[in-house]
Amino acid sequence: MNKKGQIAFESLLILLVIMTGAIAITSFYMQTHGDTLAISAARTEVLRQIGEKNENIYIESIQMDKSLAGTIIISIKTSPKKTETDFNKTTIIQKAKIASSENITDIRFE
């Protein structure tokens, strides 16, 4: 084997070891939990409902609040400000429950 071919092979082998290690380490820290799936499903459903309204509505933030009593509330902040009557809350809660094992009790619009 010539010198250039051997260096290229060794470089690929080192790169493979580094990439495998990086993937293995990040998989422990970047797991998808029920919280992530519930928020993603809620956001997708809100975006679908916004699309049906033909309005310019911007979702500023979506967060999940858990209390010690076991209630889980998804808070959605929009601009311009919208209320619960502007969206179908029941559908959003159902989609979030289907996507995750979380027991979402309410959706709040801020």
Over the stretch 17-62, which tens digit does the pLDDT of each residue have? 999 999 888 877 776 677 777 888 888 888 888 888 888 888 888 8
Note whether 23 and 42 are same-domain residues. Answer: no
Asked if residue 66 and residue 94 are part of one domain, the reply reads: yes
* Same domain, yes or no: 68 and 99: yes
Q: Do 9 and 23 lie in a common domain? A: yes
- pLDDT at 1 exceeding the cut of 60: no
- Which residues lie closer than 8 Å to 80 by C-beta, 6 or more apart? 57
Indicate if the pLDDT at residue 3 is higher than 70.
no
Q: How does the average pLDDT of the chain come out, rounded?
A: 80
Domain carrying residue 77: 34-109
Q: Which amino acid is at 48?
A: R
What is the reported pTM?
0.61
Residues 24 and 50 in one domain: no
- Straight-line distance from the first to the last Cα atom of the chain, in angstroms, rounded to the nearest whole number: 67
104-109: strand order across its sheet:
58-66, 72-79, 104-109
Decide: 85 and 52 in contact? Cβ < 8 Å.
Answer: no
Same domain, 16 and 47: no
Q: What is the distance between the alpha carbons of residues 60 and 37, in angstroms, rounded to a whole number?
A: 18
Q: CA-to-CA distance for 19 and 4, rounded, in angstroms?
A: 22
Please tell me whether residues 41 and 73 are part of one structural domain: yes
Residues 41, 25, single domain; the answer is no
If DSSP codes are grouped into helix, strand and coil, which group holds residue 109?
Answer: strand
Can you tell me whether residue 19 is helix, strand or coil?
helix
Confidence of residue 5 (pLDDT cuts 50, 70, 90): low
Q: How many domains is the chain partitioned into structurally?
A: 2
Whether residue 45 is found in the same domain as residue 7: no
**Same domain membership, residue 54 and residue 26:** no
Regarding whether 80 and 27 lie in a shared domain, the answer is: no
48 and 91 belong to one structural domain: yes
